[in-house]
Amino acid sequence: MSVYTVDGLHVRIDGELVVEDVGFAVGAGECVALAGASGSGKSQSCLAPFGLSPGIPAGSARLGKTELIGADPATLRQIRGKDVGFVFQHPLTALTPHLTIGAQLSEAWRQGGAPPPSRSDMIAALDRVGLDEPENRLDQFPHRLSGGQRQRALIGMAIAHRPKLLIADEPVSALDASLRAEIMALLDTLRREDGLALLLVSHDLAAIGRHADRLVMLRGGRVEESGPAARHLAAPTSAYGRELVAATPRLTDPPPDLAETGAPLLLAENVHVSFPRPGWRRGRIEAVSGASLTVHEGEALALVGGSGSGKSTLARAIARLGPLDRGQVCWREETLPERKRMLPRYRRLIQPVFQDPAASLDPQWQVSDIIAEPLRHLRPGLGKGDRAELVGATLQEVDLPAEFADRLPRALSGGQSQRVAIARALVSEPEMLVLDEATSALDVLVAGRVLDLLERLRQKRNLALLFITHDLAVARRLCHRIAVMEAGEIVEEGPAQRIIATPAHRATQKLVTASGV
Amino acid sequence: MRALLFRRLLTAIPTLLCVVVLSFVLMRLAPGGPFDGERALDEETRAALDAAYGLDLPLGEQIILYIGRIVRGDFGPSLVYRDFTVSELIAQGLPVSLTIGGLALLLSCALGIGGGLWAAVRAGRWQDEAVMGAATLLTALPVFVTGPLFVLIFALGLGWLPVSGWEAGSPSHLVLPVVALALPFAGAIAKLTRAGLAKALNEDHVRTARARGLAESQVIARHALRPALVPVASYLGPAAAGLLTGAVIIETVFALPGLGRYFVQGALNRDYPLVLGVVTLYAGLIILFNLVADLIYGWLDPRMRAE
Amino acid sequence: MNRRATPDNPRTGRGRPGRIPLLIVAAIALAALVVPPLLPWTHSAIGWDAVRAPLFAPGHLLGTDTVGRDLLARTLVGTRVTLAVALAAALVALIIGTAWGAIAGWCGGRIDEAMMRIVDGLYALPFMFVVILLMVVFGRSIVLVFIGIGAVEWLTMARVVRGQVIALKERPFVTAAEAAGASPVRILTGHILPNVAGVALAYLLLTVPQVVMVESFLSFLGLGVQEPLTSLGILVKEGADDMDLQPHALLIPGGVLVLVIVCLTIAGERLRDRLAR
């Protein structure tokens, strides 16, 4: 007997069809996952029937015996307050900043018509979702809680009125890898103990494989395949599904075949970086304390860690694009000068690629000018014609057609922007790239293609890569070695296979668990 | 919150000191003094006058003496209104100016927040367009245009209300000045409220509240209104300054015995102590009002209280 | 996923560049520049034979004032003076504000902290009174009027520019430019300032009506522009003094003033909202 049944659902936004003929059913205690890239209509399928999106639904969506499609707003509101709970993606912004956790919990509790909860009721409710110090949390404002704590509080509020169905829209995407597993485990527990039906929206196939009973894979608003999650992830029935599964890196994949590496290229020793405390206060906050690492010619080294572990700061210090207090960075036995003294011949060696493709390109510059910028400064001897030729050749190398040269960044997709950023990094013929979460902001398929491109370039140009990521599976796919960072220190380092198979440090183990082995 | 207020106070005192010192120095640098009247005075009388008003001392000493007197509430004698001290003029004029300014502030907040909310709830409809169009027009109406215009229409034309005067603050004499002064600020507050609520209604936490099953009126009242009013709170400081300034014009147009009129007379006649006194007093008032705005700010958004 | 009504939603019309309002201001400015020399009267020519001529009187389209001066000529010249002062003062504000904000934002740290504290402090001043103080001290010259106004109106510009510069400085494309070997000066002129320019222009458009308001305010009190020169503020004052006999002497300059302020405000706000997306 299913709790929530969707049949032939269509959703239109401003007349445009964004969900077409979607159907699925969620039973008590069951988890159904809606998977797909961004823009596949998975959130709309979940939210529109409940009147939580501007989309206009048609078809059928029944909660128990109640038909949601065509119900008036007041009825939908009652149903939301009584029978359904929602958890959204961004825990940092999903709580009302000026109301205490207790006030918001009590509000959610009362919506189903229940009498106001006593203080001990609320403490028990927060304790149940694993929030520490529940007694104190009740009187705190949301900004005092961390992201993980806020997501727990939100889940506590979402189930406070004892709903039958919980809809979780990317509940862990905004959280650190190590927290993701914990929150997903909490949702599993609630499902088991309360017989809660869980409708999970996620782009993360690996997580879906671990937690969902059934899977509905969407693409462009249509169902590509649906059925038992384990079977469909092991052997997808559609071409799109196969592509998606193949592009999703997993720790259980066979080890990649990586070329041999050469002599040591870059040697960072005992690097310390600190920042002044904000405002007029004295003292500094240490972000990196005594990190050392080596990168060899043609080697891909992954620098892995949670947010705030100092991995980006270390990478910037190494590339001489950020502050460095103590320690030195050697390039083939020559010490690199400090940030302000980086002459063109040094700058040429290491080039960066960043996470956010949209912010990586100056919105007012044409693609050709963006790519030519390093040439203008790092190889000033080059004539205009040579420069244009090099830009064209580099565009080709990153698989972008030549007519992209005179486009502006706003006319590019995320993947295309990231390719332009890679082209800009490549054009001065560096020997090492620093990639700061370069694929994290991209959809799985796009990220997969960018990873393939990076691997191809690495082999062709014998490039060294310093690959900063929070995702061990991605690191494993591309990198020879992995260095794990926590609280400003490198806590473990070694060959990728070894690190993943037998993690020694607690931080590494946490990351491996989070990636689901 | 206390730390924030403390820090604000720490900036407020040097600011006030700077105002006093700078205005003092500027006044003394000015070519020509208060006694350069129609008739040239002979040297002796002039020296006697300068000595009587302390104008013969070194500049630094004059400033220190002056600050010392201000702290005790003594702004010195007025040079234009010979029979009064500046403190007496302030005691006469300030209540009038504060009555008009305070009422106008209340009126503009009520009209502005009310109108802004009314329009935001009807976002995209013609009522919204109409209110926002009117608000833009209101912000562009200078008091020196609306003031005389109101007199022309409501006093001279229709004869509903008196043309000018104070009459110990009788309500009929207050209506026109207060409304004329409040309108541009009401427009600005309406625009801020409308934009603030539109933004707040698109925030994630409002979606959470809606998902919880709250009625839209509850969503607005409990979850969206306070964040929406944050920009209004930060506008209160500049608004208070604007109202005090506008009061100068209003008092001139409606012949009200407020402090602004004394200030203009003092400025036109180089009455140093009077001008200095009013500038210092108004700077203090505005700083005080900014502190109140900070308190409101902290109530609207608890993140501001932390620091 | 929430698709919100974007500022340039074609249905509401919000966010379209304020072309019509700007055209209106341009037309007024053009008339103020071109027409006065073509009129038979100058703005200060006294004509005792045609005192308080009504609207559409022969030879005086908008009538004359209490001493027989042609109101059309006076309104046009007054508009010209007001707009010129406003533009000059807004440019002063633009230059000081952009420089101050860009330096504070670019340098960051203690320098930024100190520079912005100064701005905070100045914000707390009753600045109109400071301007009046300046007028009293240095005499009422038109140059001082706009330097004085510009020198206080730069505060908002400085805050806005600083915020923009700080946001841009953190953008990866600025770091990428550093990696590309661009010097700090090149980064500032090539990447930061061009991206600040739009917002600065929007606030320039919003500063002009502010200054128009301040200048008229001062002139109304007799502390701004001095006779024989005239400005919209002076005309409003003269009109207000004579409004029971000749209401149009108040309504016409007042109307032009309001129209200019409304148009510039709408154009500036639209540009600002469009760039804020």
- Which of A192, A217, A247 is the endpoint of a domain? A247
In single-letter form, the type of residue at position B77 comes to P
B4, B201, B202, B205: best to mutate for the A interface, most A CBs within 10 A:
B205
What is the Cα–Cα distance from C105 to C115, expressed in whole angstroms? Answer: 9
For residue C175, the chain A residues in CB contact (below 8 A) are: 316, 321, 352, 354
More confident residue, A3 or B19: A3
A402 has pLDDT over 80: yes
Shortest alpha-carbon distance between residue A276 and chain B (Å) = 16
Do the beta carbons of residue B59 and residue B23 sit within 8 Å?
A: no
A301 has pLDDT over 80: yes
For residue C20, the chain B residues in CB contact (below 8 A) are: none
What is the Cα–Cα distance from A464 to A227, expressed in whole angstroms? Answer: 43
Average pLDDT of chain A, as a whole number: 89
What is the Cα–Cα distance from C113 to C107, expressed in whole angstroms? Answer: 10
If pLDDT is split at 50, 70 and 90, which confidence band does B14 have? confident
What is the Cα–Cα distance from B29 to B31, expressed in whole angstroms? Answer: 6
In single-letter form, the type of residue at position A513 comes to T
More confident residue, A213 or B68: A213
In single-letter form, the type of residue at position B187 comes to G
Beta carbons of B283 and C126 less than 8 Å apart? yes
A432 has pLDDT over 90: yes
More confident residue, B2 or A327: A327
What is the Cα–Cα distance from A146 to A182, expressed in whole angstroms? Answer: 14
User: Within an 8 Å CB–CB cutoff, is residue B124 touching chain A?
Assistant: no
**Residue B242 C-alpha from the chain's centroid:** 5
Size of interface A-B (CB pairs under 8 A): 71
Decide if A126 is inside a domain. Answer: yes
For residue C269, the chain B residues in CB contact (below 8 A) are: 136
- Contacting chains of A (3 CB pairs or more, <8 Å) are B, C
Do the beta carbons of residue C32 and residue C77 sit within 8 Å?
A: yes
| Mean pLDDT of all residues in C17-37 | 81
Same domain, A147 and A209: yes
| Mean pLDDT of all residues in A386-392 | 92
If pLDDT is split at 50, 70 and 90, which confidence band does B41 have? low
Domain carrying residue A75: 2-247
If pLDDT is split at 50, 70 and 90, which confidence band does C2 have? very low
Same domain, A287 and A223: no
If pLDDT is split at 50, 70 and 90, which confidence band does A516 have? low
- Which of A224, A247, A270 is the endpoint of a domain? A247
CA nearest to B249, candidates B135, B126, B151: B151
Strand intervals (E) in chain B: none
Q: Which of B12, B14, B148 sits opposite C243 (nearest CB)?
A: B148
What is the Cα–Cα distance from C75 to C230, expressed in whole angstroms? Answer: 8
Q: Which of A31-35, A60-64, C219-223 has the lowest mean pLDDT?
A: C219-223
Decide if A98 is inside a domain. Answer: yes
Per-residue tokens: A369: 């000018």
In percent, how much of chain A has pLDDT > 70? 99
A14 has pLDDT over 50: yes
**How many folded domains does chain A comprise?**
3
What is the Cα–Cα distance from A88 to A90, expressed in whole angstroms? Answer: 6
For residue B213, the chain A residues in CB contact (below 8 A) are: 77-82, 111
Beta carbons of C221 and B249 less than 8 Å apart? yes
Burial class from Cβ neighbours inside 10 Å (0-12, 13-18, 19+) for residue C208 reads buried
For residue C110, the chain A residues in CB contact (below 8 A) are: 280
Q: Which residues contact C96 (CB under 8 A, 6 or more apart)?
A: C150, C151, C154, C157, C158
| Mean pLDDT of all residues in A485-496 | 91
A88, A313, A349, A377: best to mutate for the C interface, most C CBs within 10 A:
A377
A336 has pLDDT over 80: yes
Which chain B residue has the Cα nearest residue C120?
A: B11
In single-letter form, the type of residue at position B75 comes to F
Tell me: the pLDDT tens digits for B199-216?
898 888 999 999 988 888
Do the beta carbons of residue C256 and residue C75 sit within 8 Å?
A: yes
pLDDT of res. B216:
87
Q: Which residues contact A381 (CB under 8 A, 6 or more apart)?
A: none
Beta carbons of A94 and B204 less than 8 Å apart? yes
User: Within an 8 Å CB–CB cutoff, is residue B10 touching chain C?
Assistant: no
C188 has pLDDT over 80: yes
Q: Which of C130, C139, C262 sits opposite B137 (nearest CB)?
A: C262
The full set of domains in chain B, from first to last, is 91-259+293-306 (1.10.3720.10)
pLDDT of res. A175:
82
Q: State the helix-helix crossing angle for C232-241 and C247-276, rounded to 10 degrees.
A: 140
Same domain, A400 and A486: no
Strands A56-63, A66-67: pairing kind: antiparallel
Tell me: the pLDDT tens digits for A437-455?
888 888 888 888 899 999 9
In single-letter form, the type of residue at position A2 comes to S
pLDDT of res. C187:
92
Do the beta carbons of residue B63 and residue B74 sit within 8 Å?
A: no
- Please, which residues 256-295 of chain B have a Cβ atom closer than 8 Å to chain C? 263-264, 267-268, 270, 275, 278-279, 282-283, 286-287, 290
Same domain, A136 and A280: no
Same domain, A151 and A298: no
Decide if A60 is inside a domain. Answer: yes
pLDDT of res. C140:
65
More confident residue, C10 or A97: A97
Q: Which residues contact A236 (CB under 8 A, 6 or more apart)?
A: A217, A225, A242, A244, A245
Shortest alpha-carbon distance between residue A413 and chain C (Å) = 17
Q: Give the DSSP H or E segment for A200.
A: strand A197-202
Torsions phi, psi for C42 (to 5 deg): -90, 170
Q: Which of A172-176, B5-9, B116-120, B143-147 has the lowest mean pLDDT?
A: B5-9
More confident residue, B51 or A247: A247
- Please, which residues 82-101 of chain B have a Cβ atom closer than 8 Å to chain C? none
Same domain, A219 and A270: no
For residue A359, the chain C residues in CB contact (below 8 A) are: 171-173
- Which of A217, A247, A277 is the endpoint of a domain? A247
Same domain, A148 and A297: no
Shortest alpha-carbon distance between residue C89 and chain B (Å) = 19
Beta carbons of A374 and C181 less than 8 Å apart? yes
Give the three-state DSSP class for B197.
helix
pLDDT of res. A177:
76
Beta carbons of C136 and B207 less than 8 Å apart? no
pLDDT of res. A435:
94
Q: Which of A95, A111, A141 sits opposite B208 (nearest CB)?
A: A95
Q: Which of A258-267, A415-424, C124-133, C155-164 has the lowest mean pLDDT?
A: C124-133
Cis peptide before C228 (omega within 30 of 0): yes
pLDDT of res. C10:
36
Q: Which residues contact B44 (CB under 8 A, 6 or more apart)?
A: none
Per-residue tokens: B168: 């110990």
Torsions phi, psi for A216 (to 5 deg): -120, 115
Shortest alpha-carbon distance between residue C181 and chain A (Å) = 5
pLDDT of res. C7:
36
Same domain, A199 and A158: yes
Same domain, A218 and A135: yes
Same domain, A137 and A103: yes
CATH, residue A474: 3.40.50.300
Decide if A123 is inside a domain. Answer: yes
| Mean pLDDT of all residues in B119-142 | 87
Most confident of A460-464, B39-43, C19-23: A460-464
C4, C131, C136: best to mutate for the B interface, most B CBs within 10 A:
C136
pLDDT of res. C21:
85
Do the beta carbons of residue A18 and residue A53 sit within 8 Å?
A: no
Per-residue tokens: C102: 């860009």
Tell me: the pLDDT tens digits for C192-238?
999 998 888 888 888 888 888 888 888 888 777 777 788 888 888 88
Beta carbons of A13 and C182 less than 8 Å apart? no
User: Within an 8 Å CB–CB cutoff, is residue B237 touching chain C?
Assistant: yes
Beta carbons of C127 and B124 less than 8 Å apart? no
Beta carbons of C180 and A347 less than 8 Å apart? yes
Average pLDDT of chain C, as a whole number: 79
Q: What is the dihedral of CA C89, C95, C99, C102, to 10 degrees?
A: 90
Shortest alpha-carbon distance between residue A120 and chain C (Å) = 37
If pLDDT is split at 50, 70 and 90, which confidence band does B112 have? very high
Same domain, A239 and A172: yes
Report the half-sphere exposure of C227 (CA within 13 A, side-chain side). Answer: 11
| Mean pLDDT of all residues in A504-513 | 88
A132 has pLDDT over 70: yes
C64 has pLDDT over 80: no
pLDDT of res. C15:
43
Decide if A453 is inside a domain. Answer: no
pLDDT of res. B190:
93
pLDDT of res. A198:
94
Q: Give the DSSP H or E segment for A370.
A: helix A367-378
Three-state SS string across A169-187, please?
A: ECCCCCCCHHHHHHHHHHH
**Residue C230 C-alpha from the chain's centroid:** 18
A170, A351, A373: best to mutate for the C interface, most C CBs within 10 A:
A373
Quote ipTM for the complex: 0.82
Residue ranges per structural domain of chain C: 27-276
Do the beta carbons of residue A445 and residue A242 sit within 8 Å?
A: no
Q: Which of A408-417, B159-168, C90-99 has the lowest mean pLDDT?
A: B159-168
Q: Which of B144-148, B279-283, C129-133 has the lowest mean pLDDT?
A: C129-133
Beta carbons of A364 and C194 less than 8 Å apart? yes
Beta carbons of C3 and A54 less than 8 Å apart? yes
For the domain C27-276, what is the CATH code?
A: 1.10.3720.10
Do the beta carbons of residue C193 and residue C177 sit within 8 Å?
A: no
- What number of other Cβ atoms are within 10 A of residue B39's Cβ? 7
Tell me: the pLDDT tens digits for B263-292?
888 877 777 788 888 888 888 888 888 888
Same domain, A217 and A308: no
C125, C248, C252: best to mutate for the B interface, most B CBs within 10 A:
C125
What is the Cα–Cα distance from B227 to C2, expressed in whole angstroms? Answer: 19
Q: Which of B30, B145, B267 sits opposite C223 (nearest CB)?
A: B267
